[in-house]
Structure 1
Amino acid sequence: MSMKSILAPVDGAKSSHMVLEAAFLLAQEFNAHVNVLHVKPDPKAAIPLLGEGMSGAMIEDMIEIAEKEGNEQRKKAQVFYKAALESHNVKEATMPLDGDLLTARWTEDEGREDEVIARNGRLSDLILVPKPVKENEIYSTLALNAALFETGRPMLLLPEQGMETFPKSVAICWNGSMEGARAVSAALPFLKHADEVYVMTADTNDTDETVGNELCEYLMWHAITAKTVFFSPAVKSVGEALLAETKKLGSQMMVMGGYSHSRMHELILGGVTRDVISSADIPVVMGH
């Protein structure tokens, strides 16, 4: 799989700057195009129950406030976008250009964030999503769920500090699952550009040590040499243990399948994906 079209959704929050910086860093490495997407919420969606105990004046006021907030966020997002174009010497384009120029396109649409991101994400090779934090928790959670569950495309979860350099050491969290296989396939461009690749397998009731060796053999056909790491999560959750092991290896990126169990299962009982999303301090490529 080649990496030629990167989707960078921006909402105008501070994390938008980090998303754009990561997008253009990857575009430079892969000679890819960046689609910058801003979703302007439909003001009418701010009214929960139209007409239920609300006067016409109240409804108009709510729509006006929603429109004002939407316009302010749009302006902030465009400021980040224009600054990124200038700092990275990016040329705006709607079609491929000759040469090695970095290209980008600003797209905006009105509607529900998750629906618009899903529609645009299906025609992207990678979707960038900032880690949900207090400032942007609702937007990032909507974007994350849309990217993982509604597109069939890989997602790159970005930590709060962003992505300052291209990862030269990548750790794959591998348990032989379908979701993990999709993540590995999506991450092949990163693996081919890396100097070190590790296949990590946690010692659990669901995973056998040999699955790591099987993935290493598969990667050899892609001219990728990987080392297996089999470890015990000990007292930590598997998600926290995988992040700790990745840090111990010195890797700057992690690859994993997202939500091998159902979201309801992970919500009730906890799960690897949920722990990684909440605790990751490095970029994580996820496939579902």
Structure 2
Amino acid sequence: MKSILVPVEEHLLIQPVLETALLLGRALDGYLEGMAITPDLPPYIASDIAIGDISFLDPEVRRQRAEAARRGFETFMTAQGVPQSGTGRSGLSFGWRGGDLAEDDFVGHYARAFDITVLGRPSDESHHPRPPTVEATLFESGRPVLLVPQTPPATLGTTAVIAWNRSTETARTVALAMPLLARAQRVVVVDFEDWGVSGPSVQDLSRSLTRNGLSVETRSLPNPHGHAGEAILSATVSLGGDLLVKGAYTQSRLRQFIFGGATSHILLNTTVPVLMAH
């Protein structure tokens, strides 16, 4: 996990995103690449339809936003003593993807070439990270996303909590998280009574992780009674977790939108970094 993508957009969580991305980069001795992003262009634009702020359609505005994003990213990395990547450089370094603002769909595709993408916790409120960026990256990249809460963590992955629902998505997420799990001082696998899908037990996963050299604890907790996301976050905080590992959207995105679900709740409410994959 040496290649880290950091989409940059002006919002209230950009500082926590940069700080957490740097924590990850330092932990893994990795390369951090920034890129300037913007919402997807509407499929059509009619002059008599109000669609909100469309200033990002103006080429000069797009150039200015891309340049501001680059300056902010490079200024932060330089101030933190991170060297700019050069030909053949290995270890902690940073770079910037040039060009125009990248739309969400492109971010999802481009992220396939990276080990992980760092994004802020999404919200429908203005000046916050946008849900479509997170969804595009989760569904299109095939790679994990590290979601950053509003307050940046002091540590990352010292105590890793795995929310085990036995699903394919969570199994994939655990596999992708192994570089961070291998560094953790403590790994706790949590499951809930009568929650999740059919599959290997928490003990089965624990044995597999132990064979990979991890020291693992397990916690089996009472049925969350429809509040799995809230129960997972509460358990993570009570265990002192500074990283939550969970598969994204075991239920369909539409079902979660209509009825709610653990992924949706965690995306909108987490106070700890979350590593997710679909």
TM-score normalised per structure 2: 0.88
Whether the aligned pair in 1 keeps the contact of 2:167 and 2:196 (CA below 8 Å) is no
Counterpart in 1 of 2:31?
A: 33
Give 1 or 2 for the bigger CA radius of gyration.
1
Letter in 2 for 1:158: V
2:117 to 108, 119, 127: 127
Counterpart in 2 of 1:97?
A: 89
Q: CA deviation at 1:215?
A: 0.4
Counterpart in 2 of 1:76?
A: 68
* Cα 1:69–1:193 shift into 2, 3 Å: same
Letter in 1 for 2:151: Q
* Cα 1:250–1:269 shift into 2, 3 Å: same
Letter in 1 for 2:189: V
Alignment gaps of 5+ in structure 2? none
- For residues 212-240 of structure 1, what are the alpha-carbon distances to aligned partners after superposition, in whole Å with 9 as ceiling and x for unaligned? 00000110121002111000144560110
Matched, 1:231 2:229: no
1:257 to 218, 222, 247: 247
Matched, 1:195 2:185: yes
Whether the aligned pair in 2 keeps the contact of 1:131 and 1:278 (CA below 8 Å) is yes
* Cα 1:82–1:110 shift into 2, 3 Å: closer
Counterpart in 1 of 2:78?
A: 86
* Residues 10-49 of structure 1: pairs in structure 2 closer than 5 A: 10-39=8-37, 45=41, 48-49=44-45
TM-score normalised per structure 1: 0.85
Counterpart in 1 of 2:237?
A: 247
2:162 partner SS? strand
- For residues 227-285 of structure 1, what are the alpha-carbon distances to aligned partners after superposition, in whole Å with 9 as ceiling and x for unaligned? 11000144560110011011111111100000001101111111110011111000000
- Tell me the distance in 2 between the aligned counterparts of 1:26 and 1:159: 14
Letter in 2 for 1:26: L
Matched, 1:155 2:145: yes
2:177 partner SS? helix
Q: CA deviation at 1:173?
A: 0.4
125-134 vs 206-215, greater mean Cα deviation: 206-215
- For residues 86-137 of structure 1, what are the alpha-carbon distances to aligned partners after superposition, in whole Å with 9 as ceiling and x for unaligned? 2221222254415x4x211111343662122012100010011101132444
- Tell me the distance in 2 between the aligned counterparts of 1:263 and 1:236: 17
Give the structure with the larger helix fraction: 1
1:176 partner SS? coil
Whether the aligned pair in 2 keeps the contact of 1:34 and 1:103 (CA below 8 Å) is yes
- Tell me the distance in 2 between the aligned counterparts of 1:96 and 1:281: 37
Residue-pair matches, total:
273
Q: CA deviation at 1:37?
A: 1.1
Alignment gaps of 5+ in structure 1? 55-61
- Tell me the distance in 1 between the aligned counterparts of 2:224 and 2:150: 27
Matched, 1:215 2:211: no
Letter in 2 for 1:178: T
- For residues 120-170 of structure 1, what are the alpha-carbon distances to aligned partners after superposition, in whole Å with 9 as ceiling and x for unaligned? 100010011101132444x53121011110010011111011233222101
RMSD: 2.6
- Tell me the distance in 1 between the aligned counterparts of 2:224 and 2:250: 21
Letter in 2 for 1:212: V
* Cα 1:96–1:159 shift into 2, 3 Å: farther
Counterpart in 1 of 2:275?
A: 285
1:282 partner SS? coil
- Tell me the distance in 1 between the aligned counterparts of 2:65 and 2:153: 23
Letter in 2 for 1:193: R
- Tell me the distance in 1 between the aligned counterparts of 2:2 and 2:265: 30
* Residues 164-203 of structure 1: pairs in structure 2 closer than 5 A: 164-203=154-193
- Tell me the distance in 2 between the aligned counterparts of 1:283 and 1:29: 14
Counterpart in 1 of 2:105?
A: 115
